[in-house]
Amino acid sequence: MTRSSDARTPLPAFQLGIILFIQAAEPITASVIFPFVNQFVLESGVTGGDERKVGYYAGIIGSLFFLSEFVTVLFWSRLSDRIGRKPVLLAGMVGLFVTILSAGLSKSYAAFALSRCIQGAFNGNVGVAKNVMVEVYVPQLCFLPPVWTMGNTFGPLIGGELADPGSRWPGTFGKIPFFIEYPYFLPCATASFFALLCSILGALVLKETHPTKLAEKRQSNLAASRRDYGSINNESVEEYPAAEDTSSAADASSPPIRSVLIRPIVISLTTHAFQAVTMESFRTLLPLMLSTSIHLGGLALSSARIGTIMAVWGFCNGGFQLVFFARAIRKFGPKKTFGIAYGSYAICFALYPVMSYFAKRANGVDAKVICVLVVQLSCFVLGAMSYGSNQLFIIAAVPGQNSLATVNGLTQMMSSVEHRPKQDTNFES
């Protein structure tokens, strides 16, 4: 009799839902500030009233987030090898809850930037959820890109619709001085509540998936059986091979970083870095373009309108990936799918000056501007397929099960290091 196969059986639907729920909390808390961060920077006074400097200081906030994520992501991945996946995921959720809540209570630029910096450190465990999925049931990885996309949809929607509630709903929130003094607390608190809910659900029902921790649990159960039923012979003990030497398994669970840097992994990580900087550059420039004044090259849209646009775009993106990604992989293969998808980003960036030109010419957002924006966002939806394609390259290149957490940590490090200041831009020609 053996239980060693249990670690590779598919997760029950409820457990799978909890993991995806936790995965969604990270993009929601990361993206909730996008619709109003530029307005916050302008209101904080750090720019001295110069709107052209908003992108620079907003870019610093974003870069601090990803810099701290870069510093901590490998630590979280390897820590999950030692203490298990579940406690690391829960620690990240609690950290996200506290830090995004503190961002909503920030009144100065420095306090807001510090909160986002610390939030990035807790967001460094983003790769651990992928470890859980791969350890349990690899095919369910197809759910991760749509879940991440949906998180990046609800985040801006929450940020855009709930920012500055005192001005939007003067009859209700406008009568509460707290929301006048802290206009961005409500969206941040809403996002933080989602992270808190994830931590509670995870603590109550999420199961550990790390193979070594499962073996330790079986050994503990065996020891309990000895106490309950008396001594058992050596032959019976040998029926539980997974519990023979969990300490040696733990030692092997975190291999040296150099040992996993084989050629396929290096190529996949490099490709992932280019893909990450391209995708994040576009996603960072978009709210800046939408919020900047028309005479400076933007569209002068409100935070609420920006949040709505990004939410609709995110819903379309998530639905498209869920319906067509697997079909594209089956028909074209990951390599060709990646090439076609990544090439569409060139159109996305080329349409920024076109959109600015039409907006200046009309002195507003007319039908031509809307058409260009729709084409641009549609091309990005196609381009987002490159993310999932490259994840397949990385998973296929992992040299062994004990290298999984390290490789996922390195993958996220490459993503984080490429998130440099990209908002130091104005569109004035």
Band of residue 159 on the pLDDT scale cut at 50, 70, 90: very high
Q: What is the pLDDT of residue 93?
A: 94
Residue among 31, 47, 44 at smallest CA distance from 426:
47
406 membership: H or E segment, kind and range: helix 404-417
pLDDT tens per residue, range 346-399: 999 999 999 999 999 999 999 999 999 999 999 999 998 988 888 888 878 887
Say how many C-beta atoms besides its own lie within 10 A of residue 177's C-beta: 9
Q: What is the pLDDT of residue 393?
A: 84
Taking CA 96 as the corner, what is the angle to CA 91 and CA 102, rounded to the nearest 5 degrees? 130
Average pLDDT (66-91) is 87
Residue among 227, 219, 220 at smallest CA distance from 243:
219
The model's pTM is 0.71
| Highest mean pLDDT: which range of 82-86, 114-118, 121-125, 253-257 | 114-118
Band of residue 36 on the pLDDT scale cut at 50, 70, 90: very high
Superfamily of domain 4-209+255-417: MFS general substrate transporter like domains (1.20.1250.20)
pLDDT tens per residue, range 344-353: 999 999 999 9
Q: What is the pLDDT of residue 229?
A: 52
Q: What is the pLDDT of residue 242?
A: 41
Q: 145: helix, coil or strand?
A: helix
Q: Over 60: is that where the pLDDT of 166 sits?
A: yes
Residue among 270, 222, 204 at smallest CA distance from 411:
270
Comparison of pLDDT for 149 and 86, the residue scoring more? 86
Non-local CB neighbours of 321 within 8 Å, separated by 6+ positions: 145, 146, 149, 381, 384, 385, 388
Q: How many residues does the chain have?
A: 429
Comparison of pLDDT for 162 and 133, the residue scoring more? 162
Q: What is the pLDDT of residue 256?
A: 78
pLDDT tens per residue, range 268-321: 888 888 888 888 888 878 988 998 899 989 999 987 888 889 888 888 888 888
Q: What is the pLDDT of residue 190?
A: 97
pLDDT tens per residue, range 37-48: 999 999 999 999
Q: Over 70: is that where the pLDDT of 172 sits?
A: yes
Q: What is the pLDDT of residue 55?
A: 85
